[in-house]
Amino acid sequence: MERLGGGIMDNCIFCKIINGSIPSDFVYEDEKVVAFKDISPQAPVHILIIPKEHIESVDDIDETNSHIIGHIFEVAAKLANEMGLEKGYRIVNNCKEHGGQSVNHIHFHLLGGRQLLWPAG
């Protein structure tokens, strides 16, 4: 995979969503992150929040990029409020193969609008 300008990777689905070459239903965008509806929703609200910079997984978080993760949680709380999730919600990250990660561009699922179950499978 080749790194293009602005931290975009050439064959990453989520980089293509960020640059608009794959259409998606954006609900939020700023200079660091975008948020859009998951293509396969698991709850009435199912949003993916991702950094514009291509970071593969939580395993690649270090002191140079950890500020982006804090920002993602700020955006998640803001979106949860705007979407009426006052009863609660869940933020999920799947990391690498055993964590169930299927797209190798770090992303956080914001899920809500129903009673969510625990533990995860």
Active site residues: 107
**Binding footprint of ligand DGP, residue count (CB under 6 A):** 14
What is the closest distance, in whole angstroms, from the C-beta atom of residue 23 to ligand DGP in the complex?
A: 9
Furthest CA-CA distance within the chain: 43
* Residue 103 binds ligand DGP, judged by CB under 6 A: yes
* Binding residue (CB under 6 A) for ligand DGP from 1, 6, 19, 22: 22
* Residue 44 binds ligand DGP, judged by CB under 6 A: no
Going across the sheet that includes 26-29, the strands are 26-29, 33-37, 45-51, 108-112, 89-92
Q: How far apart are CA 2 and CA 50, in angstroms?
A: 19
* Binding residue (CB under 6 A) for ligand DGP from 9, 27, 49, 94: 94
Q: Which residue has the tokens 């799947």?
A: 94
R_g of the chain, CA atoms, integer Å: 14
* Binding residue (CB under 6 A) for ligand DGP from 43, 76, 85, 101: 101
Stretch that binds ligand DGP, among 27-35, 69-77, 101-109, 110-118 (CB under 6 A): 101-109
Which of 8, 63 has the CB closer to ligand DGP?
Answer: 8
Where in the chain does DSSP place strands (E)?
Answer: 26-29, 33-37, 45-51, 89-92, 108-112
What is the closest distance, in whole angstroms, from the C-beta atom of residue 24 to ligand DGP in the complex?
A: 4
